[in-house]
Chains A and B, each alone.
Chain A
Amino acid sequence: MKFARLILANLFRKKVRLILTIGSFAVALFLFTFLAVVKSAFSRGEEIAGADRLVVINRTGLIQVLPLSYDDKIAAIPGVKAVTHNHWFGGVYQDERNFFPQFAIDIENHRKVMTEFKVPDDQWNNFVKDQQGAVVGALLAKRFGWKTGDRIPLKNALYGATKTWEFNIDGIYHNEKPGGDESQFWLQWKYFDENVPPVMKSTAGWYVVKLNSADDAVNVAKAIDEKFANSSNETKTETESAFAAGFAKQLGNIEFLILTIGGVVFFTLLLVTGNTMAISVRERTGELAVLKAIGFSDRAVLFFVLAESLLIALIGGALGLGFAILAIPVVGAALNGLLPPLLLSVSLLALGLVFALLVGAASGLLPGLGAMRLRVVDALRRV
């Protein structure tokens, strides 16, 4: 590109200014990426939830249990493909800060409902045979360096006196959905049921229902709740995504906060870079006039200015994205399981770059138009 030299040379006119402007872009893009990744983590549950699955909880509250007898009754409702029940275990591994979700699962039906979790058959068979067995998610295993065959103690104070329960890791599951959860710890419901106080026996924390078709969701949910209406344990049934969304919404106006910060960043960046471009163009009025005199068209001059600002945006943006790629895993580690994994997808990076280029174009547009409309005779008269 024969004009490349002219454009690049003009960029390096004032090195400090170039570095600062590139730095501003890098900072803004880093922030943008970070906020987007955090927002995605907050809404992950909702995103990966199944539309063809329902969650059934006790209407009076999440921590109330449901009778085990509901299992068959739910399975009998038309539209229901399979039902499974879970219990929250809530144990502590070594330190309270090592939080991860633990579920007592129903081994007969779990795989029929939670189809995205994949466990090699031989591992699953070992788990079924082992009452004290456990299956853990791949990410969880990685976090603590667990392998199959390890014996894991979990201290539990929720059900009666504090007791240490021990489990054998028989299998590791993978989630076939990208970004899906791989941080759960599963134990056998039978083992759980045998070792809890009488008041907790034969109960389910909640049910998960797999539907024949996602279209049946509303009808089946209604049918389930109607079945148990007016009983001593009324149910509340909703789709898995609605359930996850409800949780996310309790995390406050995160989205609003993020959008606001993002907006302020965008606005400030535009302001500063636009001003910088304007000043940089103003400095060169004489030169631009001479370029026009010797035959460069108005549009060519506009193109030069836009090319400069776009180049700065591209370089700064790429730098910011680069920092994000390096920093986000570190932040994820610092959060230590508090949030779903912070994922940086290729499409997000592309979006960030587009955003950077948009700001670059916008900041170069006004000064560029000014340069385009510059009349040679007026500019040279300033002498």
Chain B
Amino acid sequence: MLGISYTYWGLAAVIVGFVVVLMLLPIPLSYNVRSVRARWTSAIVAVLGIAGTVGVFVAMLSLARGFKATLVSSGSPDNAIIMRAGATSELTGGVDLNSVNIIQDAPGIARGDKGPLITPEIVIVAPIPLISTGTDANVQIRGVSDNVLAIRRQIKIVEGRMFTPGLAEIVVGKNANKSYSGLTVGNTIGLGSVKWKIVGIFDAGGSAFDSEVWADRHLLGPAYNRGENFFQSVTVHLESPDSLVQLRDALSKDPRLNVDVTREVDYYTKQSGRLTTLITVLGGLVAAVMAIGAVFGALNTMYSAVAERGREIGTMRALGFSGVAVIFSFVVEALLISFVGGALGCIAVLPVNGITTGAMNLQTFSHVAFAFMITPDLLARGIVFALVMGVVGGLLPAVRAASVPVSSALRSM
């Protein structure tokens, strides 16, 4: 709504509500502050418990965010990838030169000053050691055409320069540079039968391309004993996102071709299907269980707090403060504690931002590195989570405290 995510609206609502409640609070806030100080060990327990849970919660969300950006959100809606019909991944796709020549004249493809914006590409998986473990990861090496940057527009060179066509030079994605050893500008590595010099690092916005190594396809194929006239895929830049239909119709009607045309973003979404399921099922379960555990802990702490203050509460009510006032007071206290805990958890987890980890995408058989992506709205979500735990943990005990008959409350302990 209004371009601002619901999380921020939620947080704003909570803060406004909080301030209103504070202003209307019959029992002064100083009572809560003093109570917390008097029982500081219990308060610290609650704060740390919530901090730990929020920290893990935000970390896992940011891992999922980074993963999604990489695997699911790769590619752009105005590019299309063309492969042999029935191919489930680029590795198994196959398009020959004749087909490329037919494709490049098809309608719907954008044109640059040098001709149609299409890049036939070959894809190889090569073993390069991971920096973290020293063992090999299967890294995706892409043989691209000269005009690839005009087609994949979201990719920018951030260090060094693009490779010179015709030379044994390569550029590496920023995650590849961080995850695999030896991929720094100026270094040389062997791929296939050729030694390649790394001349640049590119930023692909956290997408799958960030884990790849790019070379001139004219040289990459022969380095792996492959002919020059056979490609794994052809990626084209569309005139507009809607041109996909036009292109697809034209190519399917052509009897000389047997290809599938997929929007680039859709292709990558499908690619990560299995890994997404794996991480969603596992991660989701862990998060759910931790949330339940956190609520138990919060409830337990707050119930104990109420139990210890039985006589105080009785006194306050005997003095004339209503049950509602008592409930408010407790919930406010719980929110204070959970807010501090949530903030602490968020601060503690910040250093994790940007750390790369990786997974092997079993569908493409290649290693994909992705980074923890902590964004402000994730932090906000963490705080909201903490506050929810505070309310849930504080409400029930508070209601209980307010409903004990005053006389027995005064007699307790």
Is there contact, CB below 8 Å, between B224 and A268? no
Is there contact, CB below 8 Å, between A246 and B136? yes
Is there contact, CB below 8 Å, between B293 and A28? yes
Residue in contact with B413 in the complex, picked from A20, A283, A335, CB distance below 8 Å: A283
| Interface bits A121-164 vs B (CB < 8 Å: 1, else 0) | 00000000000000000000000000000000001011001100
Is there contact, CB below 8 Å, between B282 and A38? yes
Is there contact, CB below 8 Å, between B297 and A268? yes
Interface residues on B, range: 35 or more
Question: Would A24 and B365 be within 8 Å (CB), given that A157-B87, A264-B55 are in contact?
Answer: no
Complex-state Cα separation, A279 to B300, whole angstroms: 11
Complex-state Cα separation, A335 to B92, whole angstroms: 25
Is there contact, CB below 8 Å, between A23 and B296? yes
Q: Which of A2-10, A59-67, A348-356 makes up part of the contact surface?
A: A59-67
Interface centre among A252, A334, A335 (most CB of B within 10 A): A252
Chain B nearest CB from A55 CB (Å) reads: 13
Q: Is A276 an interface residue (CB 8 A)?
A: yes
Is there contact, CB below 8 Å, between A61 and B300? no
Is there contact, CB below 8 Å, between B367 and A99? no
Q: Is B91 an interface residue (CB 8 A)?
A: yes
Q: Is A247 an interface residue (CB 8 A)?
A: yes
Q: Which of A29-37, A69-77, A184-192, A297-305 makes up part of the contact surface?
A: A29-37
Question: Would A250 and B359 be within 8 Å (CB), given that A157-B88, A264-B55 are in contact?
Answer: yes
Complex-state Cα separation, A23 to B293, whole angstroms: 8
| Interface bits B25-49 vs A (CB < 8 Å: 1, else 0) | 0000000000000000110010011
Residue in contact with A31 in the complex, picked from B45, B132, B293, B301, CB distance below 8 Å: B293
Question: Would A283 and B130 be within 8 Å (CB), given that A60-B192, A264-B52 are in contact?
Answer: no
Chain B nearest CB from A61 CB (Å) reads: 5
| Interface bits A45-69 vs B (CB < 8 Å: 1, else 0) | 0000000000000001111100000
Q: Is A376 an interface residue (CB 8 A)?
A: no
Report chain A residues within 8 Å CB of B88: 92, 96, 157
Question: Would A275 and B125 be within 8 Å (CB), given that A20-B303, A249-B133, A250-B367 are in contact?
Answer: no
Report chain A residues within 8 Å CB of B225: 232
Is there contact, CB below 8 Å, between B293 and A250? no
Q: Is A16 an interface residue (CB 8 A)?
A: yes
Report chain A residues within 8 Å CB of B360: 247, 250-251
Residue in contact with B297 in the complex, picked from A16, A17, A24, CB distance below 8 Å: A24
Report chain A residues within 8 Å CB of B124: 61
Is there contact, CB below 8 Å, between A252 and B359? yes
Q: What residue in chain A is nearest B225 (Cβ atoms)?
A: A232
Complex-state Cα separation, A334 to B340, whole angstroms: 37
Q: Is A290 an interface residue (CB 8 A)?
A: no
Once A and B bind, how many residue pairs between them come within 8 Å at the CB atom?
A: 159
Is there contact, CB below 8 Å, between A252 and B357? yes
Is there contact, CB below 8 Å, between B125 and A264? no
Q: Is B86 an interface residue (CB 8 A)?
A: yes
Is there contact, CB below 8 Å, between A157 and B86? yes
| Interface bits B206-226 vs A (CB < 8 Å: 1, else 0) | 000000000000000000110
Complex-state Cα separation, A38 to B49, whole angstroms: 25
Is there contact, CB below 8 Å, between A264 and B56? yes
Q: Is A177 an interface residue (CB 8 A)?
A: no
Give the contacts of B76-98 with A (CB-CB under 8 A).
Answer: 84-88, 91-92
Chain B nearest CB from A53 CB (Å) reads: 18
Residue in contact with A161 in the complex, picked from B258, B292, B294, B296, CB distance below 8 Å: B258
Report chain B residues within 8 Å CB of A275: 41-42, 45, 301, 304
Is there contact, CB below 8 Å, between B126 and A271? no
Q: Is B7 an interface residue (CB 8 A)?
A: no
Is there contact, CB below 8 Å, between A162 and B300? no
Q: Is A253 an interface residue (CB 8 A)?
A: yes
Chain A nearest CB from B49 CB (Å) reads: 5
Q: Is A272 an interface residue (CB 8 A)?
A: yes
Give the contacts of B330-374 with A (CB-CB under 8 A).
Answer: 357-360, 362, 365, 367
Q: Is B286 an interface residue (CB 8 A)?
A: yes
Complex-state Cα separation, A8 to B190, whole angstroms: 70
Residue in contact with A246 in the complex, picked from B91, B135, B290, CB distance below 8 Å: B135
Q: What residue in chain A is nearest B190 (Cβ atoms)?
A: A60
Report chain B residues within 8 Å CB of A282: 308
Report chain A residues within 8 Å CB of B153: none
Q: What residue in chain A is nearest B283 (Cβ atoms)?
A: A257
Q: Is A14 an interface residue (CB 8 A)?
A: yes
Chain B nearest CB from A318 CB (Å) reads: 17
Residue in contact with B53 in the complex, picked from A253, A268, A336, CB distance below 8 Å: A268
Q: Is A372 an interface residue (CB 8 A)?
A: no
Chain A nearest CB from B314 CB (Å) reads: 16
Q: Is B278 an interface residue (CB 8 A)?
A: yes
Question: Would A20 and B300 be within 8 Å (CB), given that A157-B87, A157-B88 are in contact?
Answer: yes
Complex-state Cα separation, A158 to B88, whole angstroms: 9
Report chain A residues within 8 Å CB of B294: 268
Give the contacts of B282-316 with A (CB-CB under 8 A).
Answer: 282, 285-286, 289-290, 292-294, 296-297, 299-301, 303-304, 307-308
Complex-state Cα separation, A38 to B191, whole angstroms: 35
Q: Which 3 A-B pairs have the closest CB atoms?
A: A162-B86, A27-B293, A157-B86
User: Can you identify 22 A-B contacts, CB atoms within 8 angstroms?
Assistant: A20-B300, A20-B303, A27-B296, A61-B127, A62-B125, A63-B365, A92-B88, A99-B274, A161-B258, A236-B127, A245-B135, A249-B130, A250-B360, A252-B359, A264-B52, A268-B294, A276-B300, A331-B285, A335-B277, A335-B278, A335-B281, A339-B278
Please list the residues of chain A having a beta carbon within 8 angstroms of any beta carbon in chain B.
14, 16-17, 20-21, 23-24, 27-28, 30-31, 34-35, 38, 60-64, 90, 92, 96-97, 99, 155, 157-158, 161-162, 232, 236, 245-247, 249-253, 257, 260-261, 264-265, 267-269, 271-272, 274-276, 278-279, 282-283, 331, 334-336, 338-339
Known contacts A275-B42, A276-B300; 17 further A-B pairs (Cβ under 8 A): A20-B303, A34-B286, A61-B125, A61-B126, A61-B224, A62-B365, A90-B92, A96-B88, A162-B86, A251-B358, A264-B55, A268-B294, A269-B297, A271-B297, A272-B301, A331-B285, A338-B278
